[in-house]
Structure 1
Amino acid sequence: MSATIDKTNTESFKMEGRCPFGGDRIGGAHGNRPTLDNWYPHRLRVEVLHQNGLAADPLGPDFDYAAAFNAIDLDALKADIKQFLTTSVAWWPSDYGNYGPQMIRMAWHSAGTYRIADGRGGAGTGMQRFAPISSWWDNGNTDKSRRLLQPIKHKYGNGLSWADLMVLTGNCALEIMGLPTYGFAGGRLDAWEADNATYWGPEVVDMGTLSDFEKMTGRDKRWRGKNGDADYDLENPLAASHQALIYVNPEGAYGDGDPVGSARDIRITFTRMAMNDEETVALIAGGHAFGKSHGMTPSKEIGPPPEMAPMEAMGLGWHNPRGTGNGKDTMTNGIEGSWTPDPTKWDNSYLENLFKFEWVKTKSPAGSVQWTPQDPDAPKTPDAHVAGQMHPLMMMTTDIALKVDPEYRKVCEKFLADFDAFTQAFSKAWYKLTHRDMGPKHRYLGPEVTLEDGLLWQDPIPDATHAPIGEAEIAALKQAIAATGLSVSDLAFTAFSSAATYRDSDKRGGANGGRLALAPQKDWAVNQRAAPVVAALRGVMADFNGTRSDGKAVSLADLIVLGGCVAVEKAAAAAGSPVTVPFTPGRVDTTQDLTDIEMFTWLKPVVDGFRNYVDADYGRIAPGVSPEELFLDRANLMTLTAPEWVVLTGGLRVLNTNHDGSDTGVFTDRVGVLTTDFFRALTDTDLVWEKEDAEGMRFALKDRASGAVRFHASRNDLVFGANAQLRSLADVYAGSDGQARFVTDFVRVWDKVMMLDRYDVKGHRRHGPMAA
Structure 2
Amino acid sequence: MDGNNVNATGGCPVMHGGNTTVASPVTKWWPRALNIDILHQHGARTNPMDADYDHREAVKGLDFEAVKADLHALMTDSQDWWPADWGHYGGLFIRLAWHAAGSYRLGDGRGGAGTGNIRFAPLNSWPDNASLDKARRLLWPIKKKYGNALSWADLIVLSGTVAYSSMGLKTFGFGFGREDIWGPETDINWGNDSVLEAPTDERVEDINDPSTMYNPLAASHMGLIYVNPEGVNGNPDPALTAEYVRTTFSRMAMNDEETAALTVGGHTVGKCHGMQAEIGAAPEGATLAEAGLGWSNPKFEGKANQAHTSGLEGAWTTNPTQWDNGYLELLFGYEWQTTKSRAGAWQWEPIDIAEEHKVPDASDPSVKHNPIMTDADMAMKVDPIYREICERFHKDPEYLAETFARAWFKLTHRDMGPKVNYYGPDVPAEDLIWQDPVPAGNTGYDLAAVKSKIADSGLSAADMIATAWDSARNFRGSDKRGGANGARIRLAPQKDWVGNEPERLAKVLGLLEPIATETGASLADVIVLAGNVGLEQAIKAAGHDVEVPFAKGRGDATEEQTDADSFTDLEPLADGFRNWQKEDYAARPEELMLDRAQLLGLTAAEMVVLVGGMRVLGTNYGGSRHGVFTDREGQLTTDFFVNLTDMGYSWHPVDQDGIYEIRDRKTGAVKWTATSADLVLGSNSILRAYVEVYAQDDNAEKFVRDFVAAWTKVMNADRFDLVA
- Residue 37 of structure 1 deviates from its aligned partner by 4.7
Q: In structure 2, which of residues 319, 335, 338 is the aligned counterpart of residue 358 of structure 1?
A: 335
Q: Deviations over 1:175-199 (max 9, x none)?
A: 0100000000000000011122210
Retained in 1: the 8 A contact 2:638–2:695?
A: yes
Query: 1-side partners of 2:24 and 2:191: how far apart?
Result: 22
Q: Deviations over 1:462-511 (max 9, x none)?
A: 234x4533xxx111111111111111100100111111011100000111
Retained in 1: the 8 A contact 2:303–2:363?
A: no
2:10 corresponds to which residue? Answer: none
1:12 corresponds to which residue? Answer: none
1:324 corresponds to which residue? Answer: 301
Retained in 2: the 8 A contact 1:360–1:374?
A: yes
Q: Deviations over 1:194-251 (max 9, x none)?
A: 122210001132x6xxxxx4xx32x322111122x4x851101111110000111000
Number of equivalent positions: 699
The within-5 A match list for 1:544-623 is: 544=519, 553-616=520-583, 618-619=584-585
Query: 1-side partners of 2:683 and 2:611: how far apart?
Result: 15
Describe the SS at the equivalent of 1:39. Answer: coil
Q: In structure 2, which of residues 285, 308, 311 is the aligned counterpart of residue 308 of structure 1?
A: 285
1:84 aligned onto 2:46? no
2:15 corresponds to which residue? Answer: none
Retained in 2: the 8 A contact 1:319–1:325?
A: no
Query: 2-side partners of 1:325 and 1:252: how far apart?
Result: 31
Q: In structure 1, which of residues 498, 508, 512 is the aligned counterpart of residue 485 of structure 2?
A: 512
The within-5 A match list for 1:345-494 is: 345-377=322-354, 379-453=357-431, 455-464=432-441, 466-469=442-445, 473-494=446-467
Q: In structure 1, which of residues 263, 267, 273 is the aligned counterpart of residue 242 of structure 2?
A: 263
Q: In structure 2, which of residues 170, 192, 203 is the aligned counterpart of residue 180 of structure 1?
A: 170
2:613 corresponds to which residue? Answer: 651
Describe the SS at the equivalent of 1:447. Answer: coil
Retained in 1: the 8 A contact 2:38–2:187?
A: yes
Q: In structure 1, which of residues 540, 560, 564 is the aligned counterpart of residue 515 of structure 2?
A: 540
2:6 corresponds to which residue? Answer: none
Q: 1:282 to 1:376 in 2, by over 3 A?
A: closer
Query: 2-side partners of 1:468 and 1:406: how far apart?
Result: 55
1:531 aligned onto 2:506? yes
Query: 2-side partners of 1:515 and 1:334: how far apart?
Result: 47
1:663 aligned onto 2:625? yes
Query: 1-side partners of 2:538 and 2:642: how far apart?
Result: 18
RMSD value over aligned CA atoms?
Answer: 1.4
Unaligned 5+ segments in structure 1 are 1-32, 208-212, 545-552, 764-772
Query: 1-side partners of 2:426 and 2:348: how far apart?
Result: 39
Q: In structure 2, which of residues 159, 171, 193 is the aligned counterpart of residue 169 of structure 1?
A: 159
1:10 corresponds to which residue? Answer: none
Query: 2-side partners of 1:626 and 1:104: how far apart?
Result: 40
1:721 corresponds to which residue? Answer: 682
Unaligned 5+ segments in structure 2 are 1-22
Q: Deviations over 1:125-178 (max 9, x none)?
A: 000000010000000000000000100110101110000001111111000100
Query: 1-side partners of 2:194 and 2:283: how far apart?
Result: 18
- Residue 325 of structure 1 deviates from its aligned partner by 5.9
Q: Which amino acid aligns with 2:55?
A: Y
The within-5 A match list for 1:671-690 is: 671-690=633-652
1:496 corresponds to which residue? Answer: 469
Retained in 2: the 8 A contact 1:320–1:326?
A: no
Query: 2-side partners of 1:325 and 1:388: how far apart?
Result: 18
- Residue 688 of structure 1 deviates from its aligned partner by 1.1
Query: 2-side partners of 1:521 and 1:334: how far apart?
Result: 46
Describe the SS at the equivalent of 1:699. Answer: strand
Q: In structure 1, which of residues 693, 711, 727 is the aligned counterpart of residue 655 of structure 2?
A: 693
The within-5 A match list for 1:219-238 is: 219-227=200-208, 229=209, 232-238=211-217
Describe the SS at the equivalent of 1:101. Answer: helix
Query: 2-side partners of 1:294 and 1:341: how far apart?
Result: 16
Describe the SS at the equivalent of 1:610. Answer: coil
Retained in 1: the 8 A contact 2:494–2:571?
A: yes
Q: In structure 2, which of residues 57, 76, 80 is the aligned counterpart of residue 67 of structure 1?
A: 57
- Residue 71 of structure 1 deviates from its aligned partner by 1.4
Q: In structure 2, which of residues 601, 607, 628 is the aligned counterpart of residue 639 of structure 1?
A: 601
- Residue 643 of structure 1 deviates from its aligned partner by 0.6
- Residue 377 of structure 1 deviates from its aligned partner by 2.5
Retained in 1: the 8 A contact 2:203–2:213?
A: yes
Retained in 1: the 8 A contact 2:360–2:369?
A: yes
Describe the SS at the equivalent of 1:360. Answer: strand
Q: Which amino acid aligns with 1:564?
A: G
Q: Which amino acid aligns with 1:187?
A: G
Query: 1-side partners of 2:648 and 2:296: how far apart?
Result: 63
2:320 corresponds to which residue? Answer: 343
Retained in 1: the 8 A contact 2:268–2:317?
A: yes
Query: 2-side partners of 1:191 and 1:34: how far apart?
Result: 20
TM norm structure 2: 0.95
Query: 1-side partners of 2:477 and 2:628: how far apart?
Result: 28
Retained in 2: the 8 A contact 1:54–1:60?
A: no
1:26 corresponds to which residue? Answer: none
- Residue 531 of structure 1 deviates from its aligned partner by 2.2
Describe the SS at the equivalent of 1:710. Answer: strand
Q: 1:313 to 1:526 in 2, by over 3 A?
A: same
2:5 corresponds to which residue? Answer: none
1:709 aligned onto 2:676? no
1:276 aligned onto 2:246? no
Q: Which amino acid aligns with 1:593?
A: E
Q: Which amino acid aligns with 1:288?
A: H
Query: 2-side partners of 1:272 and 1:449: how far apart?
Result: 25
Retained in 2: the 8 A contact 1:240–1:269?
A: yes
Describe the SS at the equivalent of 2:650. Answer: strand
Retained in 2: the 8 A contact 1:223–1:234?
A: yes
Retained in 2: the 8 A contact 1:107–1:170?
A: yes
- Residue 694 of structure 1 deviates from its aligned partner by 2.5
Q: Which amino acid aligns with 1:271?
A: S
Retained in 2: the 8 A contact 1:226–1:232?
A: no
Query: 1-side partners of 2:537 and 2:353: how far apart?
Result: 82
Query: 1-side partners of 2:374 and 2:433: how far apart?
Result: 32
Q: Which amino acid aligns with 1:501?
A: N
Retained in 1: the 8 A contact 2:83–2:302?
A: no
- Residue 61 of structure 1 deviates from its aligned partner by 2.6
Retained in 2: the 8 A contact 1:494–1:564?
A: yes
- Residue 70 of structure 1 deviates from its aligned partner by 1.9
- Residue 68 of structure 1 deviates from its aligned partner by 1.7
Query: 2-side partners of 1:749 and 1:39: how far apart?
Result: 33
- Residue 323 of structure 1 deviates from its aligned partner by 4.2
Q: 1:83 to 1:232 in 2, by over 3 A?
A: closer
- Residue 326 of structure 1 deviates from its aligned partner by 4.8
Retained in 1: the 8 A contact 2:107–2:570?
A: yes
- Residue 266 of structure 1 deviates from its aligned partner by 0.5
Identity %: 51
Q: Deviations over 1:294-330 (max 9, x none)?
A: 00225xx110000111111111000011141652110
- Residue 761 of structure 1 deviates from its aligned partner by 1.5
1:4 corresponds to which residue? Answer: none
Retained in 1: the 8 A contact 2:334–2:353?
A: no
Retained in 1: the 8 A contact 2:499–2:574?
A: no
Q: Which runs of 4+ in 1 moved over 3 A?
A: none
Query: 2-side partners of 1:247 and 1:131: how far apart?
Result: 18
